[in-house]
Chains A and B, each alone.
Chain A
Amino acid sequence: MWFIEGFQDLHKRNEFSWHIFYYNAVLVSVRFCYRESSVEVYIDVKNLSFSRGGRAIYDDVTLQIPKGKITAVMGPSGVGKTTLLRLIGGQVMPNSGTVAVDGVNIAQASRKELFEARRKMGMLFQSGALFSDMSVFENVALPLQEYTNFDKTMIRDIVLMKLQSVGLRGAAHLMPSELSGGMARRAALARAIALDPDLVMYDEPFAGQDPISKGVLVELIQRLNRAANITSVLVSHDVEESLSIADHVCLLSGGTVILSGTPEEVRSSTDERVVQFLQGHADGPVAFHYPAQEYREQLLERN
C-alpha cells in the first residue's frame, strides 16, 4: 500500500492538481510492473460440490480463473453462477472440494483470514445492495473510512473520482431510494472499486442498463482490468457484451463446466449445449422447462 501512502503525502502538501495524476500513474505502473507474462491462476476451484435444499448445484466442478484477466461465467438461469461468486467470497461454504483465492483456501480460512481476503475483493451485487441509510457518497466512502487513514479531503477526492468514472458524480448527494436500478448498480460499482481491489466480481452488471450505460460499463470494466491489472469475474446473460470483453469464458450447465476457453473457442464450439445457449434456442439438450409430469396428462387430470 506504499503508493496510497505516497498519495497521502502528496495530498498533505496540497498539490491538488497533481495528486490525482500521481495516484493513477503510480497505481497503473505498480500493477503493470507486476503483470505476469505467463498466465497465473488467481482463483482455483477444485472438485467443488455444493447443494442447497437437497438440490445439487455443483457436482465435482473444477475450474481456474486466471489472474489479471476478465473471466465471464455464463450459463442458463438457476445454474448457480451467483452461487459461484458467493463461494469465492466465502459467503457460502462448499460441501466438498476447495475454493482457493490468491492461494487462500476460503473454505478452510479462519474468520479473520476470510475478512482479510475479502478486503482484496470487490463485489457488485445484482441488486446493487447500496446501504439504504447512507447517501451515494457515504456508500462509496465507507470502505475508505474503514480501511484507510485518509483525511476527509482525500476521501472526498477519491470518492468523487470513483463516482466520476461511473458517471454519477452529480448524484453523490442522492439517497439510494432516489436512484434508478441502473444508477444504483453503477453507484455500487463505484463502491466495489473504491479500495482498488485485486479481484472484482460483477453479478449481472448489464441487467437493466440503457445502451449508453451498458457501453460505458463495458469500457469501464475493460479499463479497470487493463490499467490496474484487476482480476475480473463477470457473471452475465448478455452474451455479446460478455464475449466482447472477456479474455476467458466458463460456460456452466447441469452443475458442471461444459466449456472453458477463449471467446473464440466458445463461438466456434460445436457442442450442442453451447450452441443452444449462444443462439437462445428453447429446444435442445439444456431443458427450458422445469421437470414436471406430461403436459397433456396434467391438463386432462380431473382429480
Chain B
Amino acid sequence: MGLVKNLFAGVYGFIESLGQSGIFLFQSLFRLPVRWGEAVRLYVRQVYSVGVLSLVIIIVSGAFIGMVLALQGYSILTSYGSESAVGQLLALTLLRELGPVVTGLLFAGRAGSALTAEIGLMKATEQLSSYEMMGIDPLRRVIAPRLLAGITCMPILALIFSAVGIWAGMMVSVHWLGVYEGSFWASMQQSVFFDTDIMNGVIKSFVFAVAVVWIAVYQGYVCQPTSEGIGRATTRTVVMGSLAILGLDFLLTAAMFGDF
C-alpha cells in the first residue's frame, strides 16, 4: 500500500512540476520586453555567455569525433572495398545524429549547468527578490534572454560541430589514410540532402535546445537557495537534460527517418 501511495505521489509530483514549468516557459517567452533596446542588449550578452563561450568545447569535440569516425569508418569500409564512401558516412552520421546529440550533451554540461548555477545563486543572494521588489519581472529580465539565447545558439553550435567534424574527418581520411579526395566529396554530395538531412538535424538541435535550456533555467529558478540546493539543481540539469536529449532523439529519429 505504501509503495502504491509513493508511486502515486511521485507521478502527481511529476505532473505538477511539468505543469508549473510549462507555465514558467510560457510566461518567460511570451512576455514582451518593456524596453526593446535593453532586451536586445541582454540577449546579446547571453549569446556571448552561452554561445560564444561554448565554441571551444564544441570545435575541439567536433574535430576529435570527426577524426575517430573517419578512422573507424575507413577500417570497416575498406574490408568491403568501399573506403571512398567514408565521406558519406561522416556527413550523414554527423548531420543527422552526432552533431545535434553530442552538441546537446556538451551544451547541457557546459552552458546548462552554468545557467542553473547562475540563476540559483541569484536566488540565494536575493537578486531575484530584488528585481521583484523593484517591480521588474525577473522572468522577463533574467530568464527570457537566457532562454532565447540558448535556443538560438544551440542549432548554430550543432552545425559548427558537424562542419568541423567533417573537415577533421576529411583531413584524416584524405591526407592520412589516402582516400581519393574527389570520391570523398562526391559520395557526400550524392547522398546528403538539404531538407532531409541538414534541416532535420537543425530541427533536432532546436528541440534539444528548448528541452535543455528550459530544464536549466527552471531548475535554477525553483532550486533551494542554499549551496547544497544549487549543487543538486545543477546536477539535475545535466542528468535530466542529457536523458531528455537521448529520449527525444529516439522519438525524432523514428519520426524523421523511420520508414514505417
Contact = CB atoms under 8 A, between A and B. Distances in A.
A binds B: yes
B127 A142 contact: no
Interface in A134-149: 142-143, 145-147
26 contacts: A91-B132, A91-B133, A115-B135, A116-B135, A118-B132, A118-B133, A118-B134, A119-B134, A122-B133, A123-B133, A126-B126, A129-B127, A129-B129, A130-B127, A130-B130, A131-B127, A131-B130, A132-B125, A132-B127, A142-B136, A143-B134, A145-B38, A146-B34, A146-B135, A146-B136, A147-B135
B97 interface: no
A89 B134 contact: no
B249 interface: no
The 3 closest A-B pairs by CB, nearest first: A129-B126, A129-B130, A118-B135
Interface in B130-147: 130, 132-137
Contacts of A126: 126
Interface in A146-166: 146-147
A127 B126 contact: yes
A125 B129 CA distance: 9
Interface residues of B, number: 15
| Interface range on chain A (Cβ under 8 Å from partner) | 20 to 34
A115 B137 contact: yes
Given A91-B133, A130-B130, A146-B35, 11 more contacts: A86-B129, A91-B132, A118-B135, A123-B130, A125-B126, A129-B127, A129-B129, A132-B122, A142-B136, A145-B38, A146-B134
Contacts, number: 49
Interface in B102-139: 122, 125-127, 129-130, 132-137
A129 B138 CA distance: 14
Interface in B38-60: 38
Interface string A59-100: 000000000000000000000000000100101000000000
Contacts of A119: 134-135
A91 B225 CA distance: 15
Nearest to A120: B135
A129 B134 contact: no
A196 to B, nearest CB: 14
Nearest to A195: B134
Contacts of A129: 125-127, 129-130
Contacts of B35: 145-146
A118 B125 CA distance: 20
Given A129-B126, A132-B125, A145-B38, A121 B133 contact: yes
Contacts of A115: 135, 137
B129 A91 contact: yes
B131 to A, nearest CB: 8
A115 B135 CA distance: 5
A91 B137 CA distance: 12
Contacts of A131: 127, 130
A89 to B, nearest CB: 5
Contacts of B125: 127, 129, 132
A118 B134 CA distance: 6
Interface string B132-176: 111111000000000000000000000000000000000000000
Contacts of B34: 146
B127 to A, nearest CB: 5
A89 B135 contact: no
A121 to B, nearest CB: 7
Contacts of B129: 86, 91, 125, 129
A180 B136 CA distance: 26
